[in-house]
Structure formats: C-alpha cells, structure tokens
Amino acid sequence: MLKHIIFDVNETLLDLAALDAFFAGLFGDSRLRTEWFLTLQECWMTNTITGQYQAFGDLAQGALRMVAARHQVEVGDDQCQTLAAGIKSLPAHKDVHQALQLLNDNEFVLIALSNGALEALQQQLEFAGLTDCFEHIMAGSEISQFKPAVATYQMVAQRLGIATDQMIMVAAHAWDIAGAAKAGCRTAFVERPGKVLNPIGTQPDLIGKDVQDVAIKLCAGKL
C-alpha cells in the first residue's frame, strides 16, 4: 500500500473562493477569479515551455493586471498587494482538516507541494492551520520549476529517497494529474466546485468529491 501522499495546495486544500469578494469589488463579477487563475496558468506554463522562471507571486499579480487590461479596469499596486495578501490568508476547504487528520492517523506521510514560493506556502499552511499535518512542505521555487513539469514531482521523490511510483498526487487540477502521472506517480482528482478533468486528457487513478472522500478511499486501500 502506498503511504506517501503529495497534496496540491491552492484550490485542492485552500479555498480560493475567499478571493471572490476581491474580484467582485474590482470587476463587478466574482467569476473573473476563474479567468484570473486561467491567465495565471498561462503565464507559468509559458515560462515552463520557454525555459524561464519568475516567482509565482509576481505572476499572480501580472495575471491580475492582464485581466484588468482585458476588461479595461484600472488596477494599481494597492490592488496587487491586496490580492497577494489574500492568497496568503486563504481558509482551508471545510473537509480538509478532518481528512488530513484521518490520513495522519492511518500513518500516511503527507507532503504539501505548491507552485507558490516556499515561504509563501509556509505562510499559507500556517494561516490555514495545516502546518502540523505535513511531514514535508516543498515548492517548485526550490528548483525554479512549476508543476506540471515532471522535475517537481521527481524532486519530491528524490528528497524522500523513494521512486515516483511510490507516491500518490492529490489535486483538483487536470494539469497536475497529467504531470504527476507522466512523472510516474499514482493520482487522485478532487472534484472541487468549478474544477474539471479534461475528458480526453490523462485520467486519474481515483476520483473523490472532496479531500475527505479521497482520504476515506485511500484509507480503504483503493490505491
């Protein structure tokens, strides 16, 4: 039975809907949060494909300016800093604490792996009260790589001294599932609101309606 579980953080564990009020205030439409996150993805994936690296926080602010320019709304440094602060103070989804506790109790080794910078990730987990649930906290910033680049998942395996096929990646993102599977990990997809798989893309080994559901299935030896 696999005992090492890597968790994606933003959206999988932490609830970005907490930023809805910010987007509603700025654009008059909280749905622009989805467009912002997709634009942010475009930015970091473009960096990965072209072999460049910029900090996730800088890209998050750049993506906000792109969405603002697209919708002809003015944003300044103040709004960018409000967004940055908001990202660092997201609540956990309601099911997360109990789910991680269940996995801890069942002797799984939990690893948090984010595209956010390591220090920001540590702040996020601390704010959400999740730090103690994780044996390891790692970030793509440590090797200047973003998921879904296989190097990020390989970094985790190397540090743990195990093979990638000894790890399970849990994420609410289709691209994270695709990258982890390519790296050789087993995968579990979390069906958070608005998060969907690519029907013709890489399919996960397991699907849960939330992290609690995934945790119960993993404890039952479903992977």
Residues in contact with a second copy by the rule CB under 8 A: 34-35, 38-39, 41-43, 45-52, 54, 58-59, 61-63, 65-66, 69-70, 148-150, 174-175, 178-179, 182, 194-202
Identity of the residue, 53 or 127, whose beta carbon is nearer to a second copy in the bound complex: 53
Identity of the residue, 86 or 184, whose beta carbon is nearer to a second copy in the bound complex: 184
Q: For the CA atoms of 85, 52, 146, 193, what is the dihedral angle to 10 degrees? A: 60
Taking the complex as a whole, how short is the minimal distance between the CB of residue 106 and a second copy, in angstroms? 31
Tally: H helices and E strands in the chain: 9, 6
Identity of the residue, 134 or 202, whose beta carbon is nearer to a second copy in the bound complex: 202
Taking the complex as a whole, how short is the minimal distance between the CB of residue 184 and a second copy, in angstroms? 12
Identity of the residue, 116 or 179, whose beta carbon is nearer to a second copy in the bound complex: 179
Q: Are 14 and 37 in contact (CB under 8 A)?
A: no
| Rounded-to-integer distance, Cα 178 and Cα 174, Å | 6
Residue 117 DSSP symbol:
-
Q: Are 117 and 143 in contact (CB under 8 A)?
A: no
Taking the complex as a whole, how short is the minimal distance between the CB of residue 209 and a second copy, in angstroms? 14
